[in-house]
Structure 1
Protein backbone atom coordinates (compact mmCIF):
# COMPACT_ATOMS: atom_id res chain seq x y z
CA UNK A 1 0.00 0.00 0.00
CA UNK A 2 1.47 3.28 -1.06
CA UNK A 3 0.85 6.36 1.01
CA UNK A 4 -0.25 9.50 -0.75
CA UNK A 5 1.62 12.69 -0.07
CA UNK A 6 -1.39 14.47 1.33
CA UNK A 7 -1.37 17.72 3.24
CA UNK A 8 -4.09 18.47 5.75
CA UNK A 9 -6.12 21.15 4.01
CA UNK A 10 -9.24 22.85 5.28
CA UNK A 11 -12.50 22.63 3.35
CA UNK A 12 -12.33 26.40 2.81
CA UNK A 13 -9.03 25.97 1.01
CA UNK A 14 -10.43 23.15 -1.12
CA UNK A 15 -13.47 25.23 -2.08
CA UNK A 16 -11.32 28.28 -2.79
CA UNK A 17 -8.93 26.28 -4.97
CA UNK A 18 -11.79 24.70 -6.89
CA UNK A 19 -13.41 28.09 -7.48
CA UNK A 20 -10.13 29.53 -8.78
CA UNK A 21 -9.61 26.50 -11.04
CA UNK A 22 -13.13 26.86 -12.48
CA UNK A 23 -12.62 30.59 -13.10
CA UNK A 24 -9.45 29.92 -15.08
CA UNK A 25 -10.86 26.91 -16.92
CA UNK A 26 -10.22 26.93 -20.68
CA UNK A 27 -12.85 25.89 -23.20
CA UNK A 28 -12.66 22.17 -23.92
CA UNK A 29 -10.86 21.41 -20.63
CA UNK A 30 -12.04 18.20 -18.95
CA UNK A 31 -13.26 17.94 -15.37
CA UNK A 32 -10.24 15.77 -14.56
CA UNK A 33 -7.85 18.46 -15.74
CA UNK A 34 -9.73 21.08 -13.71
CA UNK A 35 -9.53 18.83 -10.63
CA UNK A 36 -5.77 18.41 -11.08
CA UNK A 37 -5.34 22.17 -11.43
CA UNK A 38 -7.44 22.66 -8.27
CA UNK A 39 -5.16 20.22 -6.41
CA UNK A 40 -2.11 22.20 -7.51
CA UNK A 41 -3.72 25.41 -6.32
CA UNK A 42 -4.54 23.71 -3.00
CA UNK A 43 -0.90 22.74 -2.52
CA UNK A 44 0.20 26.27 -3.32
CA UNK A 45 -2.23 27.77 -0.82
CA UNK A 46 -1.19 25.24 1.84
CA UNK A 47 2.51 25.99 1.31
CA UNK A 48 1.85 29.73 1.45
CA UNK A 49 -0.06 29.38 4.72
CA UNK A 50 2.69 27.17 6.13
CA UNK A 51 5.41 29.70 5.28
CA UNK A 52 3.28 32.57 6.63
CA UNK A 53 2.90 30.71 9.94
CA UNK A 54 6.65 30.10 10.10
CA UNK A 55 7.34 33.80 9.50
CA UNK A 56 4.82 34.72 12.19
CA UNK A 57 6.49 32.34 14.67
CA UNK A 58 9.88 33.87 13.94
CA UNK A 59 8.48 37.37 14.40
CA UNK A 60 6.90 36.34 17.71
CA UNK A 61 10.19 34.84 18.91
CA UNK A 62 12.06 38.01 17.99
CA UNK A 63 9.46 40.12 19.78
CA UNK A 64 9.71 37.97 22.92
CA UNK A 65 13.51 38.30 22.84
CA UNK A 66 13.19 42.07 22.67
CA UNK A 67 10.79 42.05 25.62
CA UNK A 68 13.15 39.87 27.66
CA UNK A 69 16.02 42.24 26.92
CA UNK A 70 13.94 45.22 28.03
CA UNK A 71 12.65 43.61 31.24
CA UNK A 72 15.97 43.46 33.17
CA UNK A 73 16.58 47.13 32.43
CA UNK A 74 13.14 47.99 33.80
CA UNK A 75 13.77 45.95 36.94
CA UNK A 76 17.05 47.76 37.59
CA UNK A 77 15.34 51.13 37.19
CA UNK A 78 12.67 50.11 39.67
CA UNK A 79 15.26 48.91 42.18
CA UNK A 80 17.08 52.25 42.02
CA UNK A 81 13.90 54.21 42.66
CA UNK A 82 12.83 51.97 45.56
CA UNK A 83 16.12 52.10 47.51
CA UNK A 84 16.07 55.80 48.48
CA UNK A 85 12.54 55.44 49.86
CA UNK A 86 13.66 52.57 52.13
CA UNK A 87 16.47 54.68 53.61
CA UNK A 88 14.03 57.37 54.82
CA UNK A 89 11.54 55.01 56.39
CA UNK A 90 12.36 55.27 60.05
CA UNK A 91 14.61 57.36 62.32
CA UNK A 92 14.53 54.58 64.96
CA UNK A 93 17.87 52.93 64.02
CA UNK A 94 19.67 56.29 64.17
CA UNK A 95 18.07 57.13 67.48
CA UNK A 96 19.09 53.78 68.96
CA UNK A 97 22.64 54.30 67.71
CA UNK A 98 22.86 57.73 69.38
CA UNK A 99 21.40 56.40 72.66
CA UNK A 100 23.84 53.47 72.70
CA UNK A 101 26.87 55.75 72.14
CA UNK A 102 25.72 58.17 74.83
CA UNK A 103 25.15 55.24 77.21
CA UNK A 104 28.61 53.88 76.44
CA UNK A 105 30.22 57.29 77.03
CA UNK A 106 28.41 57.73 80.35
CA UNK A 107 29.33 54.24 81.50
CA UNK A 108 32.97 54.78 80.45
CA UNK A 109 33.34 58.10 82.32
CA UNK A 110 31.48 57.11 85.53
CA UNK A 111 33.26 53.81 86.08
CA UNK A 112 36.67 55.51 86.44
Structure 2
Protein backbone atom coordinates (compact mmCIF):
# COMPACT_ATOMS: atom_id res chain seq x y z
CA UNK A 1 0.00 0.00 0.00
CA UNK A 2 1.73 3.17 -1.14
CA UNK A 3 0.53 6.58 -0.12
CA UNK A 4 1.10 9.53 -2.38
CA UNK A 5 2.65 12.31 -0.41
CA UNK A 6 2.12 15.85 -1.62
CA UNK A 7 5.48 17.33 -2.63
CA UNK A 8 6.86 20.06 -0.44
CA UNK A 9 6.66 23.65 -1.65
CA UNK A 10 10.47 23.72 -1.72
CA UNK A 11 10.54 20.74 -4.10
CA UNK A 12 7.90 22.35 -6.31
CA UNK A 13 9.85 25.60 -6.37
CA UNK A 14 13.14 23.85 -7.17
CA UNK A 15 11.52 21.84 -9.97
CA UNK A 16 10.02 24.99 -11.49
CA UNK A 17 13.38 26.80 -11.34
CA UNK A 18 15.10 23.89 -13.09
CA UNK A 19 12.36 23.69 -15.72
CA UNK A 20 12.60 27.41 -16.41
CA UNK A 21 16.39 27.27 -16.64
CA UNK A 22 16.21 24.65 -19.42
CA UNK A 23 13.20 26.20 -21.16
CA UNK A 24 13.39 26.49 -24.97
CA UNK A 25 12.36 29.75 -26.75
CA UNK A 26 9.23 28.31 -28.43
CA UNK A 27 8.10 26.36 -25.37
CA UNK A 28 4.66 27.10 -23.89
CA UNK A 29 3.88 27.58 -20.21
CA UNK A 30 1.99 24.29 -20.19
CA UNK A 31 5.01 22.43 -21.53
CA UNK A 32 7.21 24.07 -18.90
CA UNK A 33 4.73 23.04 -16.19
CA UNK A 34 4.77 19.45 -17.47
CA UNK A 35 8.58 19.43 -17.42
CA UNK A 36 8.55 20.91 -13.92
CA UNK A 37 6.12 18.18 -12.84
CA UNK A 38 8.41 15.49 -14.24
CA UNK A 39 11.42 17.00 -12.48
CA UNK A 40 9.42 17.19 -9.27
CA UNK A 41 8.53 13.51 -9.54
CA UNK A 42 12.20 12.71 -10.09
CA UNK A 43 13.18 14.68 -6.98
CA UNK A 44 10.48 12.92 -4.95
CA UNK A 45 11.62 9.52 -6.18
CA UNK A 46 15.22 10.35 -5.30
CA UNK A 47 14.22 11.46 -1.78
CA UNK A 48 12.16 8.30 -1.33
CA UNK A 49 15.10 6.10 -2.39
CA UNK A 50 17.44 7.94 0.00
CA UNK A 51 14.99 7.45 2.87
CA UNK A 52 14.77 3.73 2.09
CA UNK A 53 18.57 3.44 2.01
CA UNK A 54 18.84 5.27 5.33
CA UNK A 55 16.19 2.99 6.85
CA UNK A 56 18.02 -0.13 5.64
CA UNK A 57 21.31 1.19 6.97
CA UNK A 58 19.73 1.90 10.36
CA UNK A 59 18.29 -1.63 10.45
CA UNK A 60 21.70 -3.14 9.68
CA UNK A 61 23.40 -0.92 12.24
CA UNK A 62 20.86 -1.82 14.90
CA UNK A 63 21.27 -5.51 14.08
CA UNK A 64 25.07 -5.32 14.36
CA UNK A 65 24.98 -3.42 17.66
CA UNK A 66 22.55 -5.94 19.13
CA UNK A 67 24.73 -8.89 18.10
CA UNK A 68 27.91 -7.57 19.71
CA UNK A 69 28.21 -8.57 23.37
CA UNK A 70 28.70 -5.72 25.77
CA UNK A 71 32.30 -5.48 27.04
CA UNK A 72 32.78 -6.84 30.53
CA UNK A 73 34.23 -4.79 33.38
CA UNK A 74 37.39 -6.95 33.29
CA UNK A 75 38.14 -5.62 29.80
CA UNK A 76 38.31 -2.05 31.08
CA UNK A 77 41.86 -2.41 32.37
CA UNK A 78 44.45 -0.12 30.89
CA UNK A 79 46.79 -1.40 28.26
CA UNK A 80 50.29 -0.07 28.55
CA UNK A 81 52.07 0.56 25.30
CA UNK A 82 55.73 1.20 24.87
CA UNK A 83 56.82 3.27 21.94
CA UNK A 84 60.36 2.62 20.86
CA UNK A 85 61.88 5.19 18.58
CA UNK A 86 64.56 3.66 16.42
CA UNK A 87 66.87 5.96 14.61
CA UNK A 88 68.83 5.11 11.54
CA UNK A 89 72.57 4.63 11.99
CA UNK A 90 73.60 6.69 8.96
CA UNK A 91 73.13 10.20 10.41
CA UNK A 92 75.06 9.31 13.56
CA UNK A 93 77.85 7.76 11.52
CA UNK A 94 78.09 10.83 9.30
CA UNK A 95 78.17 13.10 12.37
CA UNK A 96 80.93 11.04 13.94
CA UNK A 97 82.97 11.01 10.70
CA UNK A 98 82.53 14.78 10.34
CA UNK A 99 83.85 15.42 13.86
CA UNK A 100 86.73 13.02 13.27
CA UNK A 101 87.52 14.85 10.02
CA UNK A 102 87.44 18.22 11.76
CA UNK A 103 89.69 16.89 14.56
CA UNK A 104 92.21 15.46 12.08
CA UNK A 105 92.17 18.71 10.06
CA UNK A 106 92.84 20.79 13.16
CA UNK A 107 95.66 18.47 14.32
CA UNK A 108 97.36 18.51 10.87
CA UNK A 109 97.13 22.26 10.38
CA UNK A 110 98.17 23.38 13.85
CA UNK A 111 101.84 23.42 13.29
Calculate the TM-score normalised by the size of structure 1: 0.60
Query: How many matched pairs?
Result: 72
- Aligned partners of 1:49 and 1:42: how far apart in 2? 11
Instruction: Give the equivalent residue in structure 1 for 2:12.
Output: 14
1:70-106 CA distances to partner (integer Å, 9 max, x unpaired)? Answer: 1xx225x34xx3xxxxxxxxxxxxxxxxxxxxxxxxx
Tell me which of 51, 55, 58 is aligned to 1:57.
55
In structure 1, runs of 5+ residues without a counterpart are: 1-5, 82-112
In structure 2, runs of 5+ residues without a counterpart are: 75-111
Instruction: Give the equivalent residue in structure 1 for 2:86.
Output: none
Runs (4+) off by over 3 Å: none
* Helix, strand or coil at the partner of 2:6: coil
- Aligned partners of 2:24 and 2:55: how far apart in 1? 39
Instruction: Give the CA deviation at 1:55.
Output: 0.3
Matches within 5 A, 1:3-82: 7-70=5-68, 73-74=69-70, 77-78=72-73, 81=74
Bigger fraction of residues in helix: 1
Which of the two has higher C-alpha Rg? 1
Instruction: Give the CA deviation at 1:10.
Output: 0.1
- Aligned partners of 1:65 and 1:30: how far apart in 2? 53
Instruction: Give the equivalent residue in structure 2 for 1:95.
Output: none
